[in-house]
Amino acid sequence: MAAYQPLHQHSQKPSSRYGSVSLGLRTVLAWLLSALLGLALLHLLRCSHCGARERAMVSPLLQYITSTYSQVSTMYGCDYSEGQWVRAPGHARRYNGTECNVKGSENCIRNGRPDTGYLDWRWQPSAAGCHLPSFDAAWFLAAVRGKHVAFLGDSMARNQAESLVCLLGASFPYRMVYQDPEPGTRKFWRWAFPSHNVTVSVYWAPFLARATGKSENYSEPYSSVYLDALAERWSADADTMDVAVVSTGH
């Protein structure tokens, strides 16, 4: 176990003040944690031996990704990370953020933002002939039929989960299955799309490892991160997840 001073909320630089653990031990613990997380994620992907059952399970999603992105990418040598935003009126207006219940403080329209031009952009890859296909809710849901798609991380993961639910929910009925009881917190939410028996969840786990303090309650001065344990909630559900998206912005 080790405690460490958290990153400043908007800083990329770790604080120079650490707990009492020596640098050598911290390094070893960090490596152990990386190895543990790597193993856990490999387990999630269930592909270490890739039997027929596992292949059958992940192949529709891989096929979706391949046919939507990679094929185009190999055909035209597309690098989707190189490009620019271009104005495309109506393009991004694929859902109504009020109806799909995005976090109140992040709902620009409900909070009275009068202009809407910020909704009208799409990403144009630089390479000639490259086009990023629009999101297709029916195609996506068919690819993850019967599966549990989980987002793990901080507010970045939450934004991604909420955006996905909004995109899917604009075309297919869905219901909230679970939300944390404390008002205002969005640490563990789960939605169901009964038409395709698909579950989408978001797990608040900014460090992936178990953490207490600031990461759970912003009024606290710092976080304590336990490098020898995964965060309880997502790790308890890990073997129910078919697809895990790990993303953090801190």
Ligand X SMILES: *[C@@H]1O[C@H](CO)[C@@H](O)[C@H](O)[C@H]1NC(C)=O
Can you give the binding site for ligand X, defined by CB under 6 A? Answer: 96, 98-99, 146-148, 197, 217, 219-220
CB of 57 to ligand X, least distance (A): 10
In the bound state with ligand X, the residue whose beta carbon lies nearer, of 84 and 219, is 219
d(CA 220, CA 202) in angstroms, rounded, equals: 23
The C-alpha atoms of residue 100 and residue 170 are separated, in whole angstroms, by 8
CB of 122 to ligand X, least distance (A): 19
Residue 24 or 183: the one with the smaller Cβ distance to ligand X is 183
Determine phi and psi for 76, rounding to 5 degrees.
-115, 5
> What tokens were used for 191?
């939605």
Smallest distance, ligand X to C-beta of residue 145, A: 8
Helix (H) or strand (E) holding 163: helix 155-169
Q: Shortest gap between Cβ of 185 and ligand X (angstroms)?
A: 9
- What single string gives the DSSP state of each residue in 83-150? EEEEE-TTTT--S-TTTTT--GGG-TTTTT----GGG-EEEEESSTT---PPP-HHHHHHHTTT-EEE
Q: Which of 201, 113, 108 is nearest to 149 (CA)?
A: 201
In the complex, minimum distance from the CB of residue 59 to ligand X, in angstroms, rounded to a whole number: 16
> In terms of CB distance, is 146 or 173 closer to ligand X?
146
**Cα separation of 189 and 153, whole Å?**
13
Q: Which is nearer to ligand X, 84 or 111 (CB)?
A: 111
Minimum separation from the CB atom of position 246 to ligand X (A): 20
Proportion of the chain in helix, strand, coil states, percent, rounded to 5: 35, 20, 45
**3 or 36, CB closer to ligand X?**
3
Nearer to ligand X (CB atom), residue 74 or residue 217? 217
